[in-house]
Each structure stands twice: as C-alpha cells, then as structure tokens.
Amino acid sequence: MSKLKIAIQKSGRLYEESLQLLKDCGIFVNNGKDQLKVSVDNFPMEIMYLRNSDIPQYLEDGVVDVAILGENLLIEKGKNIKTIQKLGFSKCRVSLAVPKEVETDELSYFQGKKIATSYPNTLKNFLEKEGITSDIHVISGSVEIAPNIGLADGICDIVSSGSTLFKNGLRETVTLLKSEAVLAKTPQLSVEKEAILEKFVFRIKAVLKAKNSKYILMNVPNEKIQKVSEVLPVLKSPTVIPLAEEGWSSIHSVIDEERFWEVIDELKDNGAQDILIIPIDKMVI
Ligand SMILES: Nc1ncnc2c1ncn2[C@@H]1O[C@H](COP(=O)(O)OP(=O)(O)OP(=O)(O)O)[C@@H](O)[C@H]1O
Ligand SMILES: O=P(O)(O)OC[C@H]1O[C@H](OP(=O)(O)OP(=O)(O)O)[C@H](O)[C@@H]1O
Ligand SMILES: [Mg+2]
C-alpha cells in the first residue's frame, strides 16, 4: 500500500508546530528525529526530517510528496510547486532594514547601496520591479550583523517580533512579502497518493477551522432570543434549549475567534447573560 512521504523541518522554527499539527490530525509519529525517516502506525504516511532550505528541491524532484515549509522559501527558490494549504503558524515577513541612524524609510535609500541577505532572488526580483539597483551580498545566516561590521549598508531578512533587528541597531523600512508555514506538494502525485493527501488535508482543515472558532453559550430571556440570534454569526441556526427557570433559554453557537469580543458586547447589549466561550477540538462542516 502507498504511503504519502511528507518532509518536515529537522530542527528549527517549523519543527514543533509541524509535529503538533500532525498530532492534532490524529497522526502519531513513532519516534524522534534521530532517525531521518520515521513511519506512522495509524495513517499511510512516512515522515522525512529535512532542512527547510533543501525541501523545495526535494519536492521538485519528487523525492518527497508533500512538505511543511516556509512560504517565503518557495518564493525564493522559484520552484513550480503548488501550495495546498496555509497553516497559520511561523508567520513572518521578509523586509529590508537599515541602521537606525538612517533618517529615511524610502526604498530609494538602497539605490547603489550594498544589501546583505539570505534571500537574493526575492530581493533581486523586488528591486528590479521597483527600479532600484543595489549590490546584493549573499550570506547564509546572522544577516543582521552585516551593517555593524561594515559589510553592507542595509539588510533583507526575515522579521517577526523585530527584536533581532532592534538588538542589532537596525530598523525595518520596507516589507517585501509576508509568509507563514504552508503545506506544499510535488508536481506529480499518483492517484493513490492524491487520495491520501485529500484525507490529510481534510483533517488539517478541521483542525484549523476549530482553532479559529469558539463554542459560545449563554442564557437569554425568551423574548430576547430572536434579537440575540440575529447578532450571532451561526453555522446554520443557533441551538436553543429551555432552562429549568421559566421564561429563560440557553443559546449555543459557534463564532470566529477573531470576532468574539466584538460579538460579546453586542450580545450583552441585546440581553444575553452568563456567556461562556469554550475551545473546540475539531470542526467538520
Ligand atoms: N523569527 C521567525 N518567526 C517566525 N517565523 C520564522 C522566523 N524565522 C524564520 N521563520 C519561518 O520559518 C522557516 C524556517 O526558519 P528556520 O530559521 O528554522 O530555518 P532555516 O533558516 O530556513 O534553516 P534550515 O534550512 O536549516 O532548516 C522560515 O523559512 C520562515 O518561513
Ligand atoms: O524578528 P525576530 O522575532 O527577532 O525574528 C527574526 C530572526 O529570526 C530568524 O532567525 P533564527 O532565530 O531562525 O536564526 P537563524 O538565522 O539561525 O535561522 C531570522 O533570520 C531573524 O534573524
Ligand atoms: Mg532562521
């Protein structure tokens, strides 16, 4: 029987959450990353631990079928690889930054300047599009140190909290792109493996949907049920259960994580009381 070969970062920013996602999908990985190839008992899948930066090539060559990797890396490597699903973690951006003493945030600052980066293709394409000519100096890590040691006038690198820039006396000026972890697939997959992938993506969607939603329940006087129901962004219609106390009901529904504070105020204003918000484990709709 076919097994879907999935590449996961061996160690680094994506490792923990990639494994957690598999776990949330009910896929239990047998043992640790000391082995580069690991089997799974309860799903037709084989895990391969690889370096994030090598994964686009492995996908292109069909050495692995799917992979969890940083979207920015797919853009940098310019491979013809399809992103199947954004995964919502390892969110970051690729940005230009300058020494904090530089007074301008304008891109034109970089005209004729030297920029250190680990993402030369992303930078080159961006600068070309913007009509700026710079000297791109490729380094594989610790890019933020470059201006301090006189290696460059600015940098182009990954920024998340901004603390690495701050510690190195740099300031973010221009964002080239935003990135997050994605599930990507090799250009050619057998029908059998496509079917396994479909099952896997179905599970991922259920996990992600649940993460972004909350179960909400509240007590409402019967005469306010209509009003409160109108405020709730419901899946179909809210569940309404009579309470033991005459004239009151309990309303249950599901709301988006992002919207719940906003909705709670409206619910209270419309007569809802004793509002509970509960996490959801999986959600299939
Ligand atoms: N500080 C950060 N915050 C959030 N996401 C990040 C951060 N740094 C990197 N990422 C994302 O995580 C991915 C993996 O980054 P990480 O630094 O772990 O690996 P890498 O430097 O690409 O190296 P390797 O090839 O050794 O696995 C990046 O491609 C990027 O998408
Ligand atoms: O804005 P921040 O939250 O400070 O994150 C940005 C830093 O994180 C990444 O490095 P990482 O720690 O992954 O080290 P690496 O260069 O060895 O990959 C990236 O290359 C930046 O240096
Ligand atoms: Mg890194």
Q: Judge if 194 and 66 occupy the same domain.
A: yes
pLDDT of residue 257: 82
Q: What φ, ψ does residue 280 adopt, rounded to 5°? A: -110, 135
Q: Which two tokens stand for residue 82?
A: 């399809």
Q: Judge if 271 and 247 occupy the same domain.
A: yes
Examine residue 163 and state whether it is found in any structural domain, yes or no. yes
pLDDT of residue 103: 93
Q: Is the CB of 94 under 6 A from ligand 2?
A: no
Number of domains observed in the structure of the chain: 3
Q: Indicate the residue among 194, 210, 226 that finishes a domain.
A: 210
pLDDT of residue 216: 92
Q: Which two tokens stand for residue 65?
A: 């079928």
Examine residue 120 and state whether it is found in any structural domain, yes or no. yes
Q: Is the CB of 159 under 6 A from ligand 2?
A: yes
In the chain, the DSSP E strands lie at 4-9, 37-39, 45-50, 66-70, 82-86, 92-99, 114-117, 135-138, 154-159, 170-179, 181-185, 213-221, 239-242, 248-256, 273-279
Q: Judge if 199 and 80 occupy the same domain.
A: yes
For the CA of 15, the nearest ligand: 1
Q: Which residues sit with their C-beta closer than 6 Å to ligand 1?
A: 9, 12-14, 51-53, 70, 72-73, 90, 92, 158, 160, 179
160-192 confidence digits (pLDDT tens):
999 999 999 999 999 999 999 999 999 999 999
Domain harbouring 36, CATH code: 3.40.190.10
Domain harbouring 219, CATH code: 3.30.70.120
Q: Which two tokens stand for residue 256?
A: 């988006």
Cα separation, 98 vs 144, in Å, equals: 10
Examine residue 265 and state whether it is found in any structural domain, yes or no. yes
Atom of ligand 2 nearest to the CA of 163: 4
Mean pLDDT, rounded, of the chain: 93
**What secondary structure does DSSP assign to 160-184, as a single string?**
SSSHHHHHTTEEEEEEEEEE-EEEE
Q: Judge if 172 and 43 occupy the same domain.
A: no
Q: Indicate the residue among 128, 160, 179 that finishes a domain.
A: 179
Cβ-proximal residues to 62 (8 Å cutoff; 6+ apart), any chain: 186, 187, 188
Nearest protein CA to atom 3 of ligand 1, as residue: 160
Closest CA to 134 of 75, 166, 176: 176
Q: Indicate the residue among 210, 230, 256 that finishes a domain.
A: 210
Q: Judge if 25 and 54 occupy the same domain.
A: yes
Q: Is the CB of 141 under 6 A from ligand 2?
A: yes
Examine residue 173 and state whether it is found in any structural domain, yes or no. yes
Q: Judge if 196 and 172 occupy the same domain.
A: no
How many whole angstroms from 78 Cα to the centroid of ligand 1?
17
Q: Judge if 188 and 161 occupy the same domain.
A: no
Determine the 3-state secondary structure of 55 from DSSP.
Answer: helix
- CA torsion sign for 276, 279, 281, 284 is positive
How many whole angstroms from 13 Cα to the centroid of ligand 3?
7
Examine residue 49 and state whether it is found in any structural domain, yes or no. yes
Examine residue 284 and state whether it is found in any structural domain, yes or no. no
Q: Judge if 223 and 255 occupy the same domain.
A: yes
The single residue listed with the structure tokens 């000026």 is 173
Nearest protein CA to atom 28 of ligand 1, as residue: 70
Give me the tens of pLDDT residue by residue for the chain, a chain 285 residues long.
799 999 999 999 999 999 999 999 999 887 665 778 898 989 999 999 999 999 999 999 999 999 999 999 999 998 889 999 999 999 999 999 999 999 999 999 999 999 999 999 999 999 999 999 999 999 999 999 999 999 999 999 999 999 999 999 999 999 999 999 999 999 999 999 999 999 999 999 999 999 989 999 999 999 999 989 888 866 667 899 999 999 999 999 988 888 888 888 889 999 999 999 999 999 987
Examine residue 285 and state whether it is found in any structural domain, yes or no. no
pLDDT of residue 33: 59
Q: Judge if 188 and 85 occupy the same domain.
A: yes
pLDDT of residue 263: 84
Nearest protein CA to atom 29 of ligand 1, as residue: 70
Is the separation of the CB atoms in 220 and 246 below 8 Å? no
Nearest protein CA to atom 20 of ligand 1, as residue: 52
How many whole angstroms from 159 Cα to the centroid of ligand 2?
7
93, 160, 178: which to mutate for ligand 2, most atoms within 8 A of CB? 160
What kind and span of H or E run contains 191? helix 191-211
Closest CA to 55 of 87, 93, 83, 24: 83
- Note the ipTM here: 0.96
Nearest protein CA to atom 4 of ligand 1, as residue: 90
Examine residue 199 and state whether it is found in any structural domain, yes or no. yes
pLDDT of residue 235: 60
Strand partners, 68: 183
Is the separation of the CB atoms in 184 and 57 below 8 Å? no
> Which residue range is the domain that position 27 belongs to?
4-90+181-210
Q: Judge if 185 and 175 occupy the same domain.
A: no
What kind and span of H or E run contains 149? none
Q: Judge if 8 and 38 occupy the same domain.
A: yes
Q: Cα–Cα–Cα angle for 177, 179, 180, nearest 5°?
A: 170
Q: Judge if 75 and 187 occupy the same domain.
A: yes
